Chain A
Amino acid sequence: MNQDQPILQMSGIHKRFPGVKVLSDVRFRLFPGEVHALMGENGAGKSTLIKVLTGVYSTDEGSITLEGKPLVVRSPLEAQSIGISTVYQEVNLCPNLTVAENIFIGSEPLIFGRINWKEMNRKAETLLRDRLQLNIDVKLPLENYSVAVQQLVAIARSLNVSAKVLILDEPTSSLDRGEVEQLFLIMRKLQREGLAILFVTHFLDQVYEISDRITILRNGEFVGEYMADELPRIELVSKMIGRELQMLERIPKGADNVSPQAGIIAQASGLGRKGVIEPFDLAIRQGEVVGLAGLLGSGRTEVARLFFGADRPDQGKLELPIAGGTAASPRQALEKGIAFCSENRKTEGIVGDLTVRENMILAIQARRGWFKTISRKRQDELALEYIKLLNINPSNPEQLVRNLSGGNQQKVILARWLLTQPQLLILDEPTRGIDVGTKAEIQKLVMSLSEEGMAVLFVSSELEEVLRVSDRIAVLRDRRIVKEIADQEINQHNVMQAIAGG
């Protein structure tokens, strides 16, 4: 490893947005042939630092040098042309274009001034096969593929241009274990070729598995730069959240807080949707946290959506013994006291142009109808109460939700649903792309809500998290609920075995 000369150096970086200071005096170095993890909680400024580096944002102060030469990046395109490529947290591709088009957009192979489609498709295919071991039809629209594949395509796209620095902003948050391995294989290969990789993730295991060096940010400030093998895990976490961590401890589970007599809130019998999820039976009781475990694409989300009426079942029925009737549409579900927090925060969660306050009150207001307005004073009270309760940062209720970091947006959506005081709260990947501290906060919240009698359906791709919060776990495999595991039987081994089958 070349230790003497960093390829990229950022120093004294300052950045503020209207009303928020996001970066103050941050520095960062990147050496060729290393994987450098950038760590920090939500709102620590990781994404902003990356956007500054790639020319999406300008800096207010500070300097950036690339290979010793001062650097002013004015646009992402310019960053790319000088060798800084980025794969963002949320996939930024065009879902209605083909895979090949997405990879070569802006740099299509030409023949007599026309796009050479054959050549383009062939090149895309080889690129995906040889470098990512991905065998897919590149002529199909991108939206036909899972998020995981889309992520790999995004990486392929950045490999396409000759890069010196590759930035991966949470590339693994929607990949399953095998896909992560595959990605790491590729990262190591690129690393050997001398590429400098900046890697952002929330998974500690992955940080230690792949990184050489770690830089930690907290609240927009630089905490320190460490070699990965010299920094104990526990120290890393406490530096990130800046306090002693009780939250990472196993949350003690209330001894059997769900009695078998507890009322059933929702009962699915033979509920299913062709080609999406096989018919299943599942009951959720008051005060119970039911976890859904399974691999990516096993049908977790689909089960959750059927419970909320977000998708229409074509067989079986959903009964709500306490509220009465069924939930055939989101609107009906809400009336019956069911709330659903979608996994797609951006497209199905936040309303970006509206403020934090407006986003929070939307659901209760919708239930009250447009005419029975909540007074502005009450709205402000509610917003401030929940900002405090959920520790939302920045704490300004009039901030546009779009300007908040991912974790804080998630909290705003949680607040929106909690305000409706649901009997059943469905959380689909509530902690995706969220830092350790917030994750623990949300998990604790789920536990305390269930102690108060709320039923929770908890979906997560992190098995550890499902194990921690659930009273009962329904395991899915290949679009089918294969097993229910309860109470004492809940442990990693049992669940893993059920997921794997056999």
Chain B
Amino acid sequence: MNRMFRHHLFWPLAILAALLLFNLFYSPDFFNIVMRNGHMYGSLIDILNFGAPLVLVAIGMTLVIATKGIDLSVGSIVAIAGALACLTISRGTDQNALSLVLSAVGLTVGLSFFLGAWNGFLVATTGIQPIIATLILMVAGRGIAQLITSGQIITVTSDTYNYIGNGALAALPFSIFIVAAIYLIVSLLTRKTALGLFIESVGCNPQASRLIGIRSRLIIITVYMFCGLCAGIAGLILSSNVASADGNNAGLWYELDAILAVVIGGTSLNGGRFYLTGTVIGALIIQTLTTTIYMIGVPPEITLVVKAFVVLTVCLIQSEVFRKKVVQRWKTRRYPAEREVSRHV
């Protein structure tokens, strides 16, 4: 029992379950899933579908945070990616042509790799602190996105492109498969090879890692590139879903939601140990929360306040200090230094 409480996934899962349960009480058909035209529909499917981009961005963010970094530019990369893809397609003669869509996707993926590499380069070789280094692209990126779209909203009418964000495979939204594939690949790469160990080592003690012979620069550049890639794909999914690119608003505040998802998932902002599954659950918690707020009809002007309140509650529940204060068990009281000791057990 104690083991279960200590497991790093316990609190994220408990919070997700509580949110879902609340929804079930509020609207009993919340868990209903119906088949129509070979598609599954239902609130749960919606959460997975709309949450897919956030999960993706958060996975990339997890690795960056594990190296003691942070990437504030993901929201801007989402916007740039959507803008570039939509621009390429809208210029084509036959917007439905597979080759056109593939080249748009390829171009976008390439650009997001490059943007990630730029971040990684700044962080790893110039010694600029990650929060500042990525702030540059966060600010400039919105401008770049608007430059690409010429300040307009570009709409596309391509069923092929639309498939990425709206299509279905085996009755499930296609975006879920993209996310699942990336999650699987990353999990395998970090846990079945030594990559995860190196990332944790670099995040936990960069100096020691250098003396061990780990190429920490390469690792840092790689994780930022990967984070850029995740954001780029998220941008594709988002723009494909709405069949348009909006340089101003696409992916707005995504970086903050992603960071929050990572933290809820149990990865510390101090770097070191990271938990990919925790991050996925964290992102799903945030998406469920957003869906819930819309569903129960919170007036739009106070949705952000409600969200903030719930997030605060979630963070308090996650905080061991707070839990201990609430529980007030006198005999086994813990002290600051011990809290660190008892984590990750």
Residues of chain A having any CB pair with chain B under 8 Å: 17-18, 51, 55-58, 74-75, 308, 310, 330-331, 333-335, 340, 342, 347-354, 358, 362-363, 365-371, 373-374, 400, 402-403, 416
Given A58-B338, A362-B212, A365-B194: 15 more A-B contacts, CB < 8 Å: A18-B345, A51-B337, A310-B211, A330-B212, A331-B213, A333-B213, A335-B213, A351-B204, A358-B200, A358-B201, A368-B194, A373-B192, A373-B194, A402-B340, A403-B341
State which of B32-40, B86-94, B227-235, B328-336 sits at the interface with chain A. B328-336
The answer to whether B340 and A358 touch across the interface, beta carbons within 8 angstroms, is: no
Residues of A within 8 A of B185 (CB): none
Most buried by B among A17, A348, A363: A348
Whether A347 contacts B208 by the Cβ 8 Å rule is: yes
A-B contact pairs, 20 of them (CB 8 A): A56-B336, A58-B333, A58-B338, A75-B335, A310-B211, A342-B208, A342-B211, A348-B205, A348-B208, A351-B204, A351-B205, A351-B208, A362-B214, A365-B194, A370-B194, A371-B193, A373-B192, A373-B193, A374-B194, A402-B340
Contact B211 A330 (CB under 8 A): yes
- Within the complex, which residue of B192, B193, B197, B333 is in contact with A354, where a contact is CB–CB below 8 Å? B197
What is the interface size of chain B, counting residues whose CB is below 8 A from a CB of the partner? 32
The B contact surface, by secondary structure, is helix
Whether the Cβ atoms of B335 and A58 lie closer than 8 Å is: yes
Task: Give the chain B neighbours of A334 by CB distance below 8 A.
Answer: 212-213
- Tell me, yes or no, whether B310 is within 8 Å of chain A by CB: no
Contact residues in A for B214 (Cβ distance below 8 Å): 362, 366
Chain B residue nearest to A19 in the complex (CB): B345
B142 interface residue, CB < 8 Å from A?
no
Give the distance to chain A from B320, nearest Cβ to Cβ, in Å: 14
For B133-170 the 0/1 string (1 means CB < 8 A from A) is 00000000000000000000000000000000000000
Instruction: Give min CB distance, A43 to chain B, whole Å.
Output: 15
Alpha-carbon gap, A369 to B342, bound state (A):
32
Contact A352 B335 (CB under 8 A): no
Q: Are B344 and A353 in contact (CB under 8 A)?
A: yes
- In Å, the complex CA distance between A353 and B343 comes to 10
Q: What's the minimum C-beta distance from A466 to chain B, rounded to whole angstroms? A: 23
A362, B336: Cβ atoms closer than 8 Å: no
Q: Which single residue of chain B is at the shortest CB-CB distance from A416?
A: B212
Task: Tell me if B130 counts as interface (CB < 8 A to partner A).
Answer: no
Question: Cβ of A347: which chain B residues have Cβ within 8 Å of it?
Answer: 205, 207-208
Given the interface pairs A58-B334, A362-B197, A371-B193, the reply to whether A353 lies near B204 with Cβ below 8 Å is yes
CB-defined contacts of A369 to chain B, threshold 8 Å = 194
Given known A348-B208, A352-B204, A373-B194, contact A363–B337 (CB-CB < 8 A): no
Whether B215 is near chain A, meaning CB under 8 Å from some CB there, is yes
Q: Is B114 an interface residue (CB 8 A)?
A: no
7 closest Cβ contacts across the A-B interface? A353-B272, A334-B213, A366-B213, A331-B213, A353-B204, A370-B195, A370-B194
B 167-195 binary contact with A (CB < 8 Å = 1; else 0): 00000000000000000000000001111
Nearest B residue to A60 by beta-carbon distance? B332
**For A330, what are the chain B residues with a Cβ–Cβ distance below 8 Å?**
210-213
Which chain B residues border A365 with CB–CB below 8 Å? 194, 197-198
Q: Which of B195, B200, B335: most chain A Cβ within 10 A?
A: B335
What are the residues of chain A within 8 A of B195 when measuring CB–CB?
Answer: 370
Closest A residue, CB atoms, query B199: A370
**Contact across chains for A18 and B342 when beta carbons are under 8 A apart:** yes
The answer to whether B207 and A348 touch across the interface, beta carbons within 8 angstroms, is yes
Q: Which residue of A lies closest to B196 (CB)?
A: A370
Quote the shortest CB–CB distance from A347 to chain B (angstroms): 6
Asked if B95 is at the interface (CB within 8 A of a chain A CB), the reply is no
CA distance A367 to B198 in the complex (A): 12
Contact B337 A57 (CB under 8 A): yes
Q: Identify which of residues 248-306 in chain B touch chain A, using a CB-to-CB cut-off of 8 Å.
A: 272-273
With known contacts A58-B333, A402-B341, A367–B213 Cβ distance under 8 A: yes
Tell whether, in the assembled complex, residue A358 and residue B341 are in contact, meaning their CB atoms are under 8 Å apart.
Answer: no
Residue of B nearest to A398 (CB): B345
Of the listed residues B208, B210, B211, B215, the one surrounded by the most CB atoms of chain A closer than 10 A to its CB is B211
Residues of B within 8 A of A331 (CB): 213, 215
Most buried by B among A334, A353, A363, A373: A353
Chain B residue numbers with a CB within 8 Å of A335 are 213
In the complex, A388→B101 CA distance in Å?
60
> Contacts A349-B208, A370-B195: A354 and B200 contacting too (C-beta < 8 A)?
yes
Please tell me if B241 contacts chain A, counting CB pairs below 8 Å.
Answer: no
Note all chain B residues with C-beta closer than 8 A to A18.
341-342, 345
B317 to chain A, nearest CB (A): 22
A352 touches B197 (CB 8 A): no
Question: CB distance B211 to A351 under 8 Å?
Answer: no
Min CB gap A156→B, angstroms: 24
Contacts of A402 in B (CB 8 A): 340-341
Smallest beta-carbon distance A212→chain B, Å: 31
- Tell me if B197 and A353 are in contact (CB < 8 A): no
Q: Which residues of B contact A374 (CB under 8 A)?
A: 194
Flag if B337 contacts A348 (CB, 8 Å).
no
Q: How far is the CA of A337 from the CA of B333 in the complex (A)?
A: 49
Chain A positions within 8 Å of B209 at CB level: 351, 362
Residues of A within 8 A of B192 (CB): 373
Task: Return the CB mask of B74-95 against A: 1 if under 8 Å, else 0.
Answer: 0000000000000000000000
Question: Which residues on the A side are within 8 Å of B213 (C-beta)?
Answer: 330-331, 333-335, 363, 366-367
Tell me, rounded to whole Å, the shortest Cβ–Cβ distance linking A121 to chain B. Answer: 30
Knowing A367-B213, A370-B194, say if A400 contacts B208 (CB, 8 Å).
no
Interchain nearest-CB distance for B143 vs A (Å): 35
